[in-house]
Structure 1
C-alpha cells in the first residue's frame, strides 16, 4: 500500500511539470495568446477603499509575488519566442506583474482585462472586447494578457492559479486551452 501511495504522489507531482513543458513548446513557436493570471497577492478581495488610480488602496504583489513575476519574465525570455505585446488589467497587481516580468516598454493597460466588481460578473461587451483583441492577433511573437481569475474563468470555463499561464486559441465564440505553464 505504501508503494502504491508513493507512486501516485510521484505521478501527480509530474503532471504539472509535463503540462508546463508542453506549454513552453507551444510558446517557442510564437503566434500564441497567453492569459496570465497576476502573480501572488495577499488577500482575496479588494479593500472597501479601492481606487483604480491609487495602488495604496489595492491588493498589491507580495514579496513572493514580485519574485514570481521576475521568474516569469526570465523564463519567457529564455524559453519562448519573443513576447510581441503585453496587455494588462489596470489593477496594480496585474500591472506590476506585467511590468516586472516584461518591462514597462511592452505593457499597455487594457480596461477590458479588469476584474469585475465584487458580486458582479464579466459582461458581454467586456468579454467581446477581449475576444476581438485575441481574434485580431496575428503576430509571429506571443501576445500576453495579464488579468484575473474571474476573467480567465469567463473566457475559458477553467480556473488558473496566481501566476499561471493559460495558452489559448479562439474556437467559435470562446477559447480553446492549448496548454498551461505553472510558475512556482
Structure 2
C-alpha cells in the first residue's frame, strides 16, 4: 500500500491539502488583521521545524509539486509554506480563510456555500505530472476534509470540474516520514 501511494504521488495528479504547522497557544484576536501577525496565533518553534521537515520529506520522496503553493492569508499558513517551499513559491489565496470560518457559528446556507466552493477548488486537476499543495486550516469534525492534525496532509484526487473529488488518504507528518523508510 505504502509503495503504491508513493508511486501515485510521484506520477502526479493530486492535491495535497495540508494544515499549517503547530501554532502558539491561545486564540486569534477578535480584531484579527492579516497584515499584523501579532493579532493572530503564529507558528511555534515546533511548528517551524515541522514546516521545514515537511518540505524536506516531499523533496526526499521526489514528489513533484507545481508552483505556486496556495495558502490562506494567516501568518501561520504563509510561514509554513515559505519554510517548506521558499518564499518565492507561495501565493496567498483569500478563499482559504473560508475554511477557517467553518469552525465558527455559520448558517447552514453559508456553510454549504463554502463547501460547494471547496469542492470546485478541489476538482481542479494540477498540471500534468505534478501535485498541487494547499496550506490552510483544519475542518470541524465531519465537515469538508475533516479534522487534520498539524502538518497533516489529505491526499485528494480531483475528478475534473463538476465531477467532484475523492479523498485517497490522510497522512500525519509521521506517516509521511515513514514513507522515507
Q: Which category of TM-score, normalised to the shorter sequence, fits these structures? A: 0.7 to 0.9
The equivalent position to 1:101 in structure 2, one of 84, 97, 121, is: 84
By how many angstroms is 1:118 displaced? 5.8
Q: What's the secondary structure of 1:155's corresponding residue?
A: coil
Normalization by structure 2: what TM-score? 0.77
The equivalent position to 1:177 in structure 2, one of 167, 171, 179, is: 167
Alpha-carbon distance between aligned partners in 1 of 2:119 and 2:104, rounded to the nearest angstrom: 23
Alpha-carbon distance between aligned partners in 1 of 2:118 and 2:31, rounded to the nearest angstrom: 27
Normalization by structure 1: what TM-score? 0.76
Does the alignment pair 1:126 with 2:114?
Answer: yes
Alignment of 1:62-141 (within 5 A): 62-85=44-67, 86-114=69-97, 115-116=100-101, 119-121=104-106, 123-139=111-127, 140-141=129-130
The equivalent position to 1:146 in structure 2, one of 129, 132, 135, is: 135
1:69–1:111: structure 2 CA closer, same or farther, 3 Å change rule? same
Number of residues of Structure 1 aligned to a counterpart in Structure 2: 165
> Which runs of 5 or more structure 1 residues have no equivalent in the other structure?
1-17
Alpha-carbon distance between aligned partners in 2 of 1:162 and 1:84, rounded to the nearest angstrom: 22
Name the one with the larger helix percent: 1
> Which runs of 5 or more structure 2 residues have no equivalent in the other structure?
175-181
